[in-house]
Amino acid sequence: MLDAEIHDIVLKKLSVHFAAFSGLIRAVDGVDAVFSKGHITGILGESGCGKSVLGLGILGLLPSYARVGGEILYGDTNMLKADPRWLRIFRGRGIGLIPQNPSESLNSARRIGAHLDEAMLNLSGSGRERKARAEALLRSFGFEEPSRIMRAYPFELSGGMQQRVLCAIGVACSPQWVLADEPTKGLDFDLRGQVCDTLLSLRQHGVGGMLVITHDLALAENVCDTVAIMYGGEILETGRETIRNPRHPYTKDFLEALPKNGMRPIPGMPPEIGDKTAGCKYAPRCKYRKNCCDYEKPPSVETEGSTVRCFLYA
Amino acid sequence: MLRYSLQKILSLIPVLAGISLIAFLLGVVSPGDPAEIALSRGGMSEATREQVSAMRREMGLDLPLPVQYARWLGNALKGDLGKSFSTGEPVGQALARRLPVTLRLAAYAMLLTCFFGILFGILSAAYKDRTVDLCIRGAASVILSLPGFWLAILMILIFAENLRWLPTSGVGGAKSMLMPAVTLSVATMATAARLTRSALLTEMGKQYCLAANARGIGKYRLVVRNALPNAIVPVVTLLGNYFGGILGGSVIAETIFALPGIGSYAVQAIYMRDYPALQGYVLITGLIYVIITLVIDILSLVLNPKIRLGGGA
């Protein structure tokens, strides 16, 4: 079963494809990555780049019709071939999810207490112990009257409160990892600040590693130790300095498109669904394009803990 | 919630008035003179003109219609629905004697439908596209395309004639209610199972179920504890309407299995042109239907905390 030691999450040639009428959709396309324990890793990318699908893959919650290839390793276990019982324990205790869209992620027919209780079922302990633990957990996330919150229904809470409740649920089993999927999506400025603080505070809950899937650059900059840039189902660049010192042409263009950096839009469109480019996915929009970019996948170049997939650095 | 219920109850008053008016008008617009029909006792004897006009005065048929309606309604509220043309028995008494039989039949049918309909729906959704699901879906399609009376006759052949497990007709214990209840419930059972399945699958595709799954829960918790409370609302509405529908649909089952319920009473009344009896039947089934609709409204309110607590629409 799940051992007590925290491991890195290692993706090897991970691909998630969906067969659609329009052709094969490569939502995640041959991703190699190591998400190290003890770090907060941000997975940054535009809508539709495959980052949420990647997250679901790590949780083992992809729909049954998804075609998954490659490996997701946690310690010695390949999660894609793991025993369903192992996966059940792994969810919650190995990796806790903080889902996107707080208002849609809580069951409107059930009380908050029932959500929290359910999240702790994999732990040993009586119902009363779970209740005490749930109240302590809510208090640690800034709720002053946890027993009142436990009795409340999700729609009786504000968006920020729902977000904090979901964080509490996500760490209820003291998971080794936390996966936060778009934690700031659709939240206003004040709430985003709260979410940043909450995510950083998760370390105090004994969380050993965190993945933050987002398109919010500010969040990535403030919270994450390492950032991985995703585009068209591939990870183009990872590193500690990615946002301050971008290397891949896409990351550079992406940052220049920000309002504070001159708001220069990237010409062209992101790769279409079902795109079968043999070479670099960004080549059609790239300023530094060479001939080989169209035909050949650029190699992954590693320097000082950062990697970039581009011929410029090969 | 109390205010909502009161509003619902108040809104039922015009509905009830409408039902009573229709039931009353049924007697007025129907062909033939009620006085003449009452005197002739189904064509056995012919009355003289004097006898008929005396009878008309006695029955109040010479009064203006609104006055007749007010009188009729006043009597109906006191439980006096007039006397049956064919038997001379007060309609209220006959209905009071027969209603328990129909209600018992309806209760058995309802129980079967709720239990098996929802159970099969849950199984079907939990094992989507697996053998269990395919069998349930296949059986549901077959059952939906079978006419109820045919199934009833088939069951009589098998279980009463050949195997001699169950009585063919009449009122006895639960045994005698089994076949009529099955006849009444199978079609709705299949519909309820299908609706439960599709409602559950819709709910299971929603974000909150994904989030629940990420908590490392088993299938039972996902389907029954998380998805079902949200999926059950349309099923409850369907079953409520069905319970009202049984009262009309019980005519077939009561006739085939010779059960002395209000359905077979209505059929006899139609044969005999027994308008007071029909009026009584329409009034009582209308009343029951309205009460059930009210109960269902309140029940779906209880099932939906968003409305219960006044948090939303």
* pLDDT tens-digit readout, B180-205: 888 888 888 999 999 999 999 999 98
Minimal CA separation from A99 to chain B, in Å: 6
Q: According to the model, what pLDDT value does residue A247 have?
A: 87
Sheet containing A95-98: order of strands: A95-98, A177-181, A209-214, A40-45, A226-231, A234-239, A306-309, A300-303
| Contact across the interface for B230 and A153, Cβ inside 8 Å | no
Average pLDDT over residues B41-57: 72
Question: A118 and B215: CB-CB below 8 Å?
Answer: yes
Q: What's the residue count for chain A?
A: 314
Which residues of A fall within a CB distance of 8 Å from B311?
153, 155-156
Q: At what angle do helices B275-303 and B262-272 cross, to 10 degrees?
A: 150
Q: For B256-261, what is the mean pLDDT? A: 85
B224 touches chain A (CB under 8 A): no
**Domain containing B237: what range?**
96-260
Burial bucket for residue B139 (CB in 10 Å: 0-12, 13-18, 19+): middle
Domain of B236, CATH number, reads: 1.10.3720.10
Put simply, the answer to whether A96 touches B214 (Cβ < 8 Å) is yes
Q: Which two tokens stand for residue B21?
A: 């008016």
**Residues A23-38: pLDDT tens digits?**
788 888 888 888 888 8
- State pLDDT tens for residues A189-199: 777 887 788 88
When pLDDT is cut at 50, 70 and 90, the band that residue B313 belongs to is very low
Asked if residues A111 and A149 have their Cβ atoms less than 8 Å apart, the reply is no
Could you tell me if residue B32 is inside a domain?
no
B209, B214, B217 ranked by CB distance to A121: nearest: B217
> What pLDDT score does A275 carry?
67
Which pLDDT score is estimated for B42? Answer: 54
Q: Which residue has the higher pLDDT, A48 or A35?
A: A35
Tokens of B281: 């039947």
What span, in angstroms and rounded, lies between the C-alpha atoms of A24 and A16?
10
Lowest mean pLDDT among A184-188, A308-312, B228-232, B306-310: B306-310
B130 touches chain A (CB under 8 A): no
The verdict on a CB contact (< 8 Å) between B217 and A90 is: no
- Residue B313 falls within a domain, yes or no? no
Q: How far is A24 from chain B (nearest CA, A)?
A: 22
Q: Which residue has the higher pLDDT, B39 or B233?
A: B233
Residue B50 lies in a domain: no
Q: Kindly state the percentage of chain A with pLDDT values over 70.
A: 98
Sheet architecture: strand order including A67-74: A23-35, A9-20, A67-74, A77-78
CB interface of A with B, residues 38-67, below 8 Å:
56, 59, 61
Q: What mean pLDDT do residues B214-242 have? A: 88
B305 is a domain residue: no
Q: What is the mean pLDDT of chain A?
A: 85
Q: For residue A101, give Cα distances in angstroms to A169, A180, B18, B96.
A: 14, 11, 48, 56
* pLDDT given for residue B41 in this prediction: 61
pLDDT over 60 (residue B294) = yes
B156 within a domain of the structure (yes/no): yes
Q: Which of B206, B214, B218 sits opposite A104 (nearest CB)?
A: B206
**Number of domains forming the structure of chain B:** 1
Average pLDDT over chain B, rounded to whole? 84
Contact A107 B230 (CB under 8 A): yes
In this predicted structure, what is the pLDDT of residue B7?
A: 84
Flag whether B146 is in a domain.
yes
Residue written as token pair 């009122």: B171
pLDDT above 70 for B312: no
- Looking at residue B200, its pLDDT comes to 94
Q: Where are the beta strands (DSSP E) in chain A?
A: 9-20, 23-35, 40-45, 67-74, 77-78, 95-98, 177-181, 209-214, 226-231, 234-239, 300-303, 306-309
Pair of tokens at residue B154: 């088939």
CB contact under 8 A, A100 and B214: no
Lowest mean pLDDT among A214-218, A273-277, B220-224: A273-277
The reply to whether residue A110 touches residue B215, judged by beta carbons under 8 angstroms, is no
In terms of phi and psi (left: phi > 0; alpha: psi -120 to 50; beta: otherwise), the region of B46 is: beta
**In this complex, is the C-beta atom of A173 within 8 Å of any C-beta atom belonging to chain B?**
yes
pLDDT tens sequence across A216-242: 888 888 888 899 999 888 888 998 888
> What's the rounded Cα separation, in Å, for the pair B75 and B78?
5
Inter-chain touch B229–A101, beta carbons under 8 Å: no
The yes-or-no verdict on residue A106 having pLDDT over 90 is: yes
Nearest CA in chain A to B203: A107
Is there a contact between B279 and B26 (Cβ–Cβ < 8 Å)?
A: yes
More confident residue, A269 or A248: A248
- The pLDDT score that the predictor gives to residue B133 is 94
Q: Of A139-153, B263-277, B298-312, give the range with the top mean pLDDT.
A: A139-153
| Residue B44 pLDDT | 59
Are the Cβ atoms of A110 and B229 closer than 8 angstroms?
yes
Q: Could you tell me how many CB contacts below 8 A there are between chain A and chain B?
A: 83
Sort out which chain A residues have CB atoms less than 8 A from B202's CB and list them.
Answer: none
> Nearest C-alpha of chain B: how many angstroms from A107?
6
Q: Give the whole-number percent of chain B exceeding pLDDT 90.
A: 17
Q: Percent of chain A having pLDDT more than 90?
A: 13
Interface mutation vs chain A, best among B202, B215, B303, most A CBs within 10 Å: B215
Percentage, residues of chain B above pLDDT 70: 94
Least confident of A85-99, A146-160, B268-282: B268-282
Tell me how long chain B is.
Answer: 313
Chain B CB contacts of A156 below 8 Å: 309, 311
Query: Over 50: is that where the pLDDT of A268 sits?
Result: yes
Higher pLDDT, A46 or B123: B123
Q: Residue B311: what pLDDT?
A: 46
